[in-house]
Amino acid sequence: MKVRVNAKINLTLDVVGSFGEGYHKLDMIMASVGIFDFVEVNPADKITVFMDMRESDENNIAYKVAKICNEKYGVPPLRIDIIKGIPFCGGLGGSSADASAVLYCVQKMFGLADDIVKDIAAKVGSDVNFILQGGLCRACGKGDNLEKLPFKEYSLVVVKGKSTASTKEVFDKFDEVGKITDYTKQFLANTANNNELQFIGNGMQMAAQTLCEDMGRVISTLNKYSHYVCMSGSGACVFAVMKNMSDANLLADKLKNNFPFVKACTTLPYGIKEM
C-alpha cells in the first residue's frame, strides 16, 4: 500500500505550562500542508525501513511503529519505503508523518482498531495523531488532545535556512528565555471576523532564533513580502501567509536560490491520501 502523507505547520504555538520531566503543556493551531513524503508498506520476512533508498536503523520512528504492531498486535513484519519531501529538523512533523503513514497503512491492511492506532500514535510521537486526522485542529496538552476546526485554505511560502536545533534544545532554551503567550486563544477569537491571521505566532520562536543563527535572516526576508510570518513547531522552518497561490509561487521562485529549502503550498483538509 502506498500513501502520500502531508506535513503540518503551526499557525500558532503557545507553551502554557509543564507536565514535568521535560514535557511542556502546549496550546496550538495545526494545519496540514502540501509538503509531503511518499510511504509504501509491504509485508516482508523482517522489518526494514528504507529512506530515500538508504536503510534506516531501529531508531527510525516508522521502524518503531512496525515493531510495536508486530510484537504486540500480530501484524506481519513490514518493509517500509519512504521518499522524503518534508525537510529534516523543520518543525513540520516529518518523522511523525512517516509514523502516521505506517499506522494508516497497517490499519487499512490488517484491520487494527481505532483505539489501538491512537494508543500507538500517542506512544511514538506527539504529532502523529494530528497527521492521521489532518485538516485544521486545535491541539492541547502534549499536542495529542485534538479539537477539529472548520477548514480554511491559506496560501503559504515555507522556508528553511541552513542552521537547525533539536526540539529538546529549543525547549531547554525556552525554559531560560521564553514567556507564556496566548496566540491560540486570540486566533480562535478572531476567526469569525476573518482577522485571525493578525494573531499567528509561536511562543518558542525567540528561543529557536537564539540557537539557529540564520533564522533571523529568513524571518526578515519573508517580512518584506508578508505581514504574517511565523516559525513552525520548534523550527527551523518559517512560513509566510500570502494573498493567493500566484503570489506564493512568485515568491518561492524568487527565494529558491537564497535558502536550502523553499516551497509554496496551501493548507489541506486531509493528512494522508492513498496513491
Residues marked active site are found at 8, 127
* Rg, Å, the chain Cα set: 18
Which residues contact residue 128 at a Cβ distance below 8 angstroms, ignoring those fewer than 6 apart?
A: 96, 99, 100, 103, 121, 122, 144
With cell 502540501, the residue in question is 34
- The DSSP result for 161-199, as a single string, is -S----HHHHHHHHHHH-----HHHHHHHTTTTT-GGGG
Q: Residue 267 is placed in which grid cell? A: 493548507
Which residues contact residue 173 at a Cβ distance below 8 angstroms, ignoring those fewer than 6 apart?
A: 165, 207, 208, 210, 211
Q: Quote the strand ranges of 52-119, DSSP E.
A: 54-55, 78-83
- Contact between 26 and 143 under an 8 Å Cβ cutoff? The reply is yes
State the Cα–Cα distance between residues 138 and 174, nearest whole angstrom: 22
Q: Which of 167, 56, 69 is nearest to 112 (CA)?
A: 69
Tell me whether the omega of the peptide bond preceding residue 121 falls within 30 degrees of 0, making it cis. no
Cα distance between the two ends of the chain: 8
State the Cα–Cα distance between residues 52 and 82, nearest whole angstrom: 6
With cell 537564539, the residue in question is 210
